[in-house]
C-alpha cells in the first residue's frame, strides 16, 4: 500500500501523468514563475507597489495584441511593452504633476485598449486569447520555458548586483538619496524587474490574475520572517508549493488552471493569517 500512495494522488497515477510533455512543462513553469514571484514579489510587497504590478500586467495586453498583429510570439512582444509601461508609470509620476495612481490608471486602460485594437486589426481569429487573459499553465511550450528561464536569470543577477541598494531603497528612500544611492534610477530598475516578472507570469495565470501570484506568496511569508533574504526564499518555496498544488487540482477536477492556482493561494493566505494570529 505504501508504494501505491507514492505514485497515486487523487486516484490518478502520478508517474503516468508525468510522462506527458505538457505536464512536465507545467511543473517546470511552476518552479520558474515561483522564482520571479519570490524575488520580485518581495520587493513589490515591501515597497507597496502592488497596484503598479497590476497596471503593468494589464498594459502588457497591448504587447500581446501587437504580437498577434505582427505575427510574432505574443509573450515575446509583451516584453518591451511591459518595460515601456513600467518606465512610463515611473517617469510620468516623477516628472509631472500626475500622481502615481493616476499614471497607473492611464497606462492600464491604454494598454488594454491598444491590445483590443491590435487584435481587431490582426487577420483571422485569435484562438489562444483567453489563455493570455486568465492563464493556461498546461499550454506552456518549450519556447515559453526557455524565455522564463532567461528572464529569471536576468532578475536573479540584477538583484544580486544591486541587493544593498534595493534594500536601502525599500526601507528608507530619503536616507538612501542622502548617502548617494541613485534612488530614482533604482526605482525605475525595480519597476523593470516587475515588468519582466509580469511577462514570466502571464502564461501561467494570465493578465487578469498576475497581481495575486506576484504578491500572495510574499504576503504569506512576511508573516513569519522580516529578514529580506529569508523572505525571498520562503516566498519562492511557498509560490512553488501552492502553484503545483493548484495545477494538480485543476487537472484533477478539470478546472481553469490560473484561477485554481490563485484560489489555492488565497486559501493558504487565510490559513497562514490565522496561524500567525494564534502565534
3-state helix, strand, coil in the chain (%, to 5): 85, 0, 15
pLDDT tens, residue by residue, 57-110? 889 999 999 998 998 888 889 999 899 999 998 888 888 888 888 888 888 899
Domains and CATH numbers, the chain: 19-278 (1.10.3470.10)
Number of CB atoms found within 10 A of residue 42's CB: 29
pLDDT of residue 224: 87
Positive or negative: CA dihedral 41, 245, 63, 159 = positive
- How many whole angstroms separate alpha carbon 151 and alpha carbon 164? 21
- How many whole angstroms separate alpha carbon 79 and alpha carbon 84? 9
Residue carrying the nine cell digits 481587431 = 120
- How many whole angstroms separate alpha carbon 13 and alpha carbon 25? 18
CB-neighbour burial class of residue 112 (10 A; exposed 0-12, middle 13-18, buried 19+) = middle
- Classified as helix, coil or strand, 13 is strand
Q: Average pLDDT in the 267-278 region?
A: 86
Check whether 218 has a pLDDT greater than 50.
Answer: yes
pTM attached to this predicted model: 0.87
Helix crossing, 183-205 with 210-222: angle to 10°? Answer: 110
In degrees rounded to 5, what are phi and psi of residue 13? -70, 115
Closest-CA residue to 36 (of 190, 146, 201): 201
Check whether 16 has a pLDDT greater than 70.
Answer: no
Amino acid at each position: 500500500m505504501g508504494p501505491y500512495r507514492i505514485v497515486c494522488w487523487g486516484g490518478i497515477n502520478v508517474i503516468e501523468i508525468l510522462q506527458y510533455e505538457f505536464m512536465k512543462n507545467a511543473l517546470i513553469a511552476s518552479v520558474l514563475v515561483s522564482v520571479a514571484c519570490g524575488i520580485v514579489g518581495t520587493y513589490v510587497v515591501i515597497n507597496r507597489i502592488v497596484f503598479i504590478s497590476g497596471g503593468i500586467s494589464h498594459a502588457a495586453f497591448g504587447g500581446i495584441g501587437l504580437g498577434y498583429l505582427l505575427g510574432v510570439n505574443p509573450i515575446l512582444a509583451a516584453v518591451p511593452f511591459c518595460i515601456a509601461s513600467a518606465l512610463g508609470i515611473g517617469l510620468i509620476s516623477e516628472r509631472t504633476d500626475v500622481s502615481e495612481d493616476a499614471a497607473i490608471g492611464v497606462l492600464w486602460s491604454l494598454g488594454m485598449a491598444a491590445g483590443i485594437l491590435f487584435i481587431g486589426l490582426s487577420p483571422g481569429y485569435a484562438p489562444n486569447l483567453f489563455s493570455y487573459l486568465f492563464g493556461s499553465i498546461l499550454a506552456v511550450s518549450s519556447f515559453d520555458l526557455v524565455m522564463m528561464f532567461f528572464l529569471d536569470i536576468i532578475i536573479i543577477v540584477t538583484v544580486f548586483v544591486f541587493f544593498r541598494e534595493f534594500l536601502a531603497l525599500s526601507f528608507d528612500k530619503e536616507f538612501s538619496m542622502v548617502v548617494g544611492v541613485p534612488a530614482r534610477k533604482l526605482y525605475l530598475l525595480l519597476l523593470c524587474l516587475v515588468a519582466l516578472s509580469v511577462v514570466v507570469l502571464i502564461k501561467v495565470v494570465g493578465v487578469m490574475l498576475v497581481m495575486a501570484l506576484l504578491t500572495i506568496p510574499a504576503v504569506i511569508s512576511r508573516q513569519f520572517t522580516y529578514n529580506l533574504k529569508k523572505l525571498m526564499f520562503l516566498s519562492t518555496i511557498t509560490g512553488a508549493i501552492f502553484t503545483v498544488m493548484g495545477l494538480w487540482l485543476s487537472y484533477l477536477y478539470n478546472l481553469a488552471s490560473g484561477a485554481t492556482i490563485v484560489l489555492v493561494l488565497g486559501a493558504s493566505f487565510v490559513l497562514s493569517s490565522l496561524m500567525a494570529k494564534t502565534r
